[in-house]
A and B are shown apart, each in its own frame.
Chain A
Amino acid sequence: GAGVSQSPSNKVTEKGKDVELRCDPISGHTALYWYRQRLGQGLEFLIYFQGNSAPDKSGLPSDRFSAERTGESVSTLTIQRTQQEDSAVYLCASSLRFTSGGIQETQYFGPGTRLLVL
């Protein structure tokens, strides 16, 4: 597609339920990132995927959070047993690649999923 897409656009759930958020990166982008943005705050890094390498999960706030990506396609972020503190906008971004050695690629963001946990 032309840009990064995310679904659903908005999600309301009850405390304790599991939710799945989906991200479709830009075609050809090998790197994919998830961020969380709490109300009025900047973005917090959660996890990123680079091709078939093991993902960097260093930003995941708890073991209730997990993410998967098959190859260089769609990614899903799963939050189990949701808590009210999980309420936020979850943003996905993709880039051509993410490499060490100083070669960095600009990230392009999706519109986000607004999650509200009641």
Chain B
Amino acid sequence: AQTVTQSQPEMSVQEAETVTLSCTYDTSESNYYLFWYKQPPSRQMILVIRQEAYKQQNATENRFSVNFQKAAKSFSLKISDSQLGDTAMYFCAILSGNTPLVFGKGTRLSVIA
């Protein structure tokens, strides 16, 4: 079974600053995918970034990047130059084998002007 742990229920960051959200996971599969989804108050789940486990290079999407540490089973999300629109719940998720997405409990991020 896969598990995802997000140890930070809430975080806040000043506008234009950088923040890192933590995620650890567990899986017995060798091939898997990791995701960060953003859920603003509109509740629409939006894909932020995706990482294939077989790739050593960390994924990057504009201001969003990950620090993927496979041996440590860690997958943190870094948001640079934080913007007010980044305020949302952020969910880490794993997809592997024949099981659908398994989500962490989420981190509520508040960007403060």
A residues contacting B by CB (< 8 A) are 33, 35, 41-43, 45, 48, 56, 59, 89, 91, 93, 98, 100, 102, 104, 106-112, 114
Contacts and interface: CB of A to CB of B under 8 A. Distances in A.
Q: Of A42, A48, A93, A114, which is in contact with the most chain B CB atoms at under 10 Å from its CB? A: A42
Interface in B21-59: 31-33, 35, 37, 42-47, 50
A91 B45 contact: yes
B68 interface: no
A50 B33 CA distance: 19
B47 A106 contact: yes
B37 to A, nearest CB: 8
Contacts of B35: 106
B30 to A, nearest CB: 8
Interface residues of B, number: 26
A104 B95 contact: yes
B40 to A, nearest CB: 11
A41 B105 contact: yes
B50 A42 contact: no
B19 interface: no
Contact of A100 (B50, B97, B106): B97
A78 to B, nearest CB: 20
A42 B100 contact: no
B101 interface: yes
Contact of A48 (B47, B50, B100): B100
Given A42-B103, A42-B104, A42-B106, A108 B44 contact: no
B91 interface: yes
23 contacts: A41-B105, A42-B103, A42-B104, A42-B105, A43-B91, A43-B103, A45-B102, A48-B100, A56-B100, A91-B43, A93-B101, A98-B100, A100-B98, A104-B32, A104-B95, A107-B47, A107-B101, A108-B47, A109-B37, A109-B44, A110-B44, A111-B42, A112-B44
